[in-house]
Amino acid sequence: MFSARSLFQEIVDNDDSYRLFCSIAASGEAQGGWENGRIAALMPASMRELAPKVTRHGADEDKHGRIFHALMRKRGLTPADVPEETDYTALLERQGIGLAHDKLRRDEPLTELDIVTYLAHSRVTEQRAADQMVMLTKHFGHHPEVGKAIKVISHDEDNHLAYCHEELLRLARLGHGRAIQRILHDCAHAEIVVYRDVSLAVMDHMGRLLKWPTAKSAALTAGIRTMYGYERLGGWRRMVSLRMPERRNPLDGPATSEPEFA
The reply to whether 255 falls in a domain is: no
Please report whether residue 33 resides in a domain: yes
Q: Nearest-CA neighbor of 64 among 156, 2, 147? A: 156
- pTM beyond 0.85: the answer is yes
Residues 73 and 67: their CA atoms lie apart, in Å, by 10
> How confident is the model over 150-186, as pLDDT tens digits?
999 999 999 999 999 999 999 999 999 999 999 999 9
Q: Is 165 contained in some domain?
A: yes
Is 182 in a helix, a strand, or coil? helix
Sign of CA dihedral 242, 193, 251, 104: negative
The residue type of 134 is V
- 3 falls in which pLDDT band (50, 70, 90)? confident
Q: What is the CATH number of the domain that holds 61?
A: 1.20.1260.10
Domain contains 262? no
Per-residue confidence (pLDDT) for residue 258, from 0 to 100: 57
Task: Give the count of domains, the chain.
Answer: 1
Q: What is the dihedral of CA 53, 59, 63, 65, to 10 degrees?
A: 110
Residue 51 lies in a domain: yes
Mean pLDDT within 100-122: 96
Give Rg (Cα) of the chain.
18
* Average pLDDT of span 6-19: 95
Q: Rounded to whole angstroms, what are the CA distances from 114 to 11, 178, 212?
A: 38, 14, 44
Q: Is residue 204 part of a domain?
A: yes
Q: What is the pLDDT of residues 62-80, one digit of tens each?
A: 999 999 999 999 999 999 9
Structural domain range at position 216: 4-239
